[in-house]
Amino acid sequence: MRKKDLFKFIGVILMFFLGGSIIVEFLQGFGINTDKFDAKDLNYLECLLELIYALGVYLIYRRYFRADYKEVKNGFKKYGDLILKYFAIFLAIKIASSVITSIVGLIIGVQIGESENQNAIVSLTSSAPLMMLISTAILAPIVEEGIFRLSLRKVINNKYIFIILSGLIFGFMHIFPTDLSMSVALTYSIVYVTMGVYLAYVYVETDNIWVPIAVHALNNLISMIAIIMIS
């Protein structure tokens, strides 16, 4: 691990977790009170934040993004088949982890419904579906895979430690902070941690960041289409 890679990782982590607060403070400094934003305004703000994060991650790791894209472009058929294969496995794992989550919920005596993260997505989608579609299905996969897969991999050489740690960080950041009890929150995190572990495994296996990005994007796209159709 190089110090340069560690500093980059710290930088993108701080950007991801603190960037929103900084931008909100910046807007309020110009007299824009985000506390009075309605759902549609919040949706546009969310999309703006994701765009800033995506540009930031891409610029910091542009050498890897470009090199991996070139590989995908030159081997389009090969990578297309890989993405479809890994996505099919992803869906199977997602369903299995959802079943496990429900079983754990029964054991601890909690009825498992939608997570707070999922409820927030549904709420925002109803106000501005196109913005939420762009944010969730295009920008978020680039940001999250760029940070929790590409960036983290540069500072962790051991692939097993990387896969586990990547999955845990990815899963917990989708749940915490929360007002739920610890047992309920950890139960909800099973699905997200499992997805994070699998996406990290996909990155290790392919050594191309666009593969987990594509798998992540397909999952979010299908989820968003389902939400829009139901709303």
pLDDT at position 116 over 70: no
Question: Would you say 86 and 202 are in contact if contact means Cβ atoms under 8 Å apart?
Answer: yes
Backbone φ, ψ for residue 128 (5° rounding)? -150, 80
Kindly report the average pLDDT of the chain as a whole number. Answer: 92
Q: What's the distance, CA 167 to chain centroid?
A: 11
Residue 2 has pLDDT above 90, yes or no: no
Q: With 80 as the cut, is the pLDDT of residue 110 above it?
A: no
Q: Is the pLDDT of residue 118 over 70?
A: no
- Could you give the percent of the chain with pLDDT greater than 70? 94
Q: DSSP 3-state assignment of 61?
A: coil
**Cβ atoms within 10 Å, residue 100:** 14
Provide the 3-class DSSP secondary structure of residue 38. Answer: coil
Burial class (CB in 10 A: 0-12, 13-18, 19+), 90: buried
Q: What's the half-sphere exposure (Cβ side, CA atoms, 13 Å) at 42?
A: 12
Q: How far apart are CA 172 and CA 188, in angstroms?
A: 9
CA gap 49, 54 in Å, rounded: 9
Q: How far is CA 7 from the centre of its chain?
A: 21
* Domain locations along the chain: 3-230
Residue 48 burial by Cβ neighbours in a 10 Å radius (0-12, 13-18, 19+): middle
The pLDDT tens digits for 124-142 are 677 778 888 999 999 999 9
Q: Give the other-Cβ count within 10 Å of 198's Cβ.
A: 21
